[in-house]
Structure 1
């Protein structure tokens, strides 16, 4: 996956990475092209030899869409879940590999990902998390964040996925991480993914995580 340079995203990522008083925030917004080259292209060719790129695999249900249906016996409940093509799953894992160079997500399973039900739900979750820890600082940044993402990817035309790994493979699983999210906005027509990732860190661990925690609570976030 090729990182598409964006000074606008770089500025917003810097603004999202700051201390608030109760915790430190580390955020990144990056855009990637799905046009494969080099190692990604070779790996995809190897994947294609093991089955059709359009074969479907099960995703974990999103918390917003987890629904249950009664089995025929009426005694058990089964989870209804979304599916993802092997090709799209490859794009998501390749994006993670590009974003987190110290980790290898090649063997990540489809059940570590979810398809989100709507853009509005994702925006509400992001806004709720960041507003809870950054308050007015994030509320002043909210408009520029979503406008930049929309200009880059056309949010209304995207499928949105999230990555929810187990603790052993979570790049944010280090001590002090209070919460994290990893969202992929995938526009098939543009062959592009915008990756929006963020974590909140206990201030005791903030220095070790490389987040500047020196910002005063009343200081503007950007």
Structure 2
């Protein structure tokens, strides 16, 4: 995957570094080309051709999470694992091995300190509609950041529209196991990770966000553990927390 330069996304990412009364929010929006680079070609061959696999083979995804009262029951988005939409086989959402590889490669590119190569299809879900995704993201960020997010919201969705045309995308969500990835850190209140995959454009927009408890960070400072935060808190924020602890 190749990270595509986008000054608008860089500005939005800067705006998604938010400090609220109870949490610090770290959000990023990035655009990637699905063109394979470097070691990805070898990994692609290993994952897709060993043991007789084919890139077009389908794998079952997990069902989408039903958050905030949003019900996908009236949305037709499931297909049979056998590929027969008229019947036969258990109904579930599926993804090709090639598309799954693109999602995993995006995670590896976005979080270079972690290795997602062994991630399974069941750790991902396909979202029923763009409206559900927008509602989920807006609910998370509006509840956590209120007006700070509201002033950014229109620019955020307009920029995503200009970059990827989300109505033409398959939208996936990564649901991590919270054991061996960036989202299982102590003090993490919630996180979301959405992929807007436009097959025609061969491009993915990745929207990742997590909220870290301010109270947890202050307890770490007060304990004098000496351990560095893995969440890359900026210096101004750290100084502010230290001043609060000293008061």
User: TM-score normalised by the shorter chain: which range applies?
Assistant: 0.7 to 0.9
Counterpart-to-counterpart distance in 2, 1:43 and 1:113: 19
Range with bigger deviation, 135-144 or 42-51:
42-51
TM-score computed with the length of structure 2 as normaliser: 0.78
* Number of the residue aligned with 1:75: none
Of 92, 102, 110, which aligns to 1:91? Answer: 102
* Number of the residue aligned with 1:210: 232
CA RMSD of aligned residues (A): 1.9
**Matched-pair contact (CA < 8 Å) for 1:26–1:211:** no
Find out whether 1:57 has 2:68 as its counterpart: no
Deviation, 1:170, is: 3.3
Q: How does 1:108-127 map to 2 (within 5 A)?
A: 108-127=119-138
**Matched-pair contact (CA < 8 Å) for 2:176–2:183:** no
Counterpart-to-counterpart distance in 2, 1:63 and 1:145: 23
Counterpart-to-counterpart distance in 2, 1:206 and 1:7: 31
Structure with the greater alpha carbon radius of gyration: 2
Counterpart-to-counterpart distance in 1, 2:35 and 2:211: 32
Counterpart-to-counterpart distance in 1, 2:180 and 2:206: 18
Q: How does 1:1-222 map to 2 (within 5 A)?
A: 1-50=1-50, 51-64=53-66, 65=72, 80-206=91-217, 208=229, 209-212=231-234, 213=237
Aligned pairs, how many? 204
Deviation, 1:80, is: 4.5
Give 5+ residue unaligned stretches, structure 2. Answer: 67-71, 75-89, 219-228, 241-247
TM-score computed with the length of structure 1 as normaliser: 0.86
Q: Which has the higher contact order (CA 8 A, sep 6+)?
A: 1
**Matched-pair contact (CA < 8 Å) for 1:113–1:164:** yes
